[in-house]
A and B are shown apart, each in its own frame.
Chain A
Amino acid sequence: AQSVDQPDAHVTLYEGASLELRCSYSYSAAPYLFWYVQYPGQSLQFLLKYITGDAVVKGTKGFEAEFRKSNSSFNLKKSPAHWSDSAKYFCALEGQGTGSKLSFGKGAKLTVSP
């Protein structure tokens, strides 16, 4: 079985601050991990992925994520945050040999105030 947990349903910060959205996963083998973003009224857009190799992966829109096997986490980071980053962010896991079927976390709604 595989699962993804995003413990912070709502995150609020001011523009210019550093943002970090937490994601933890449960999977018996090496996971493929993704972050997607959903802007209000829009569909999900790919931000970045971790397959193997470097623990820190960089994605679009200035985001990066750090994979930590030791505590099964894949946290999303950006500094500084901008008001346009306000959106809902989803962490997702793809199990090996499952094609591109994703298991999603519940998402984190990020609000960045000007």
Chain B
Amino acid sequence: EAAVTQSPRSKVAVTGGKVTLSCHQTNNHDYMYWYRQDTGHGLRLIHYSYVADSTEKGDIPDGYKASRPSQENFSLILELASLSQTAVYFCASSDAAANTEVFFGKGTRLTVV
């Protein structure tokens, strides 16, 4: 079964600190995504990647960087964490084809204090 694993599952970070969220998929998918979910909102796309060593900006990339060192791994980096980045972050993967099912990880609850 398709699997997307996120770590850590929850984290408390200090304002101004650096945070790295990791994602690993065993689906052999080319596409990977990072979304954030805020209370009362749907998911919003931060960064995505079509291929290893390449990342693209999504709809809300400000304050975030992404890294795709291999097909299986995709990281989201907050260089200077801010209170407004408190949210639940979801990693996801999908096949190269369009209009296909996207598989989501279980999410990382990030609290910035």
A residues with a Cβ closer than 8 A to B are 4, 6, 9, 32, 36, 42-46, 49, 51, 90, 92, 94, 96-107
A90 touches B48 (CB 8 A): no
Q: Does B74 contact A (CB under 8 A)?
A: no
| Chain B residues touching A, majority SS | loop
Smallest CB gap from A98: residue in B: B98
Q: How many Å lie between the Cα of A105 and that of B94 in the bound state? A: 20
- Given known pairs A43-B104, A44-B104, the reply for A32 and B99 (CB within 8 Å) is yes
A100 touches B99 (CB 8 A): yes
Interface residues on B, range: 20 to 34
Stretch of B12-20, B38-46, B77-85 at the chain-chain interface: B38-46
B102 touches A100 (CB 8 A): yes
Smallest CB gap from B40: residue in A: A106
Nearest 7 interchain pairs by C-beta: A104-B42, A100-B94, A32-B99, A43-B104, A46-B101, A44-B104, A104-B43
- Given known pairs A99-B31, A101-B48, the reply for A94 and B90 (CB within 8 Å) is no
* Chain A residues with CB below 8 A from B42, complex form: 4, 6, 90, 92, 104-107
Smallest CB gap from B33: residue in A: A101
Q: Does B50 contact A (CB under 8 A)?
A: yes
B100 touches A100 (CB 8 A): yes
Smallest CB gap from A46: residue in B: B101
A51 touches B43 (CB 8 A): no
B44 touches A104 (CB 8 A): yes
- Given known pairs A43-B106, A101-B58, A102-B45, the reply for A94 and B99 (CB within 8 Å) is yes
* Chain B residues with CB below 8 A from A103, complex form: 45, 59
A51 touches B58 (CB 8 A): no
* Chain B residues with CB below 8 A from A45, complex form: 104
Q: How far is the CB of A35 from chain B (nearest CB, A)?
A: 11
* Chain A residues with CB below 8 A from B33, complex form: 100-101
Q: How many Å lie between the Cα of A32 and that of B102 in the bound state? A: 13
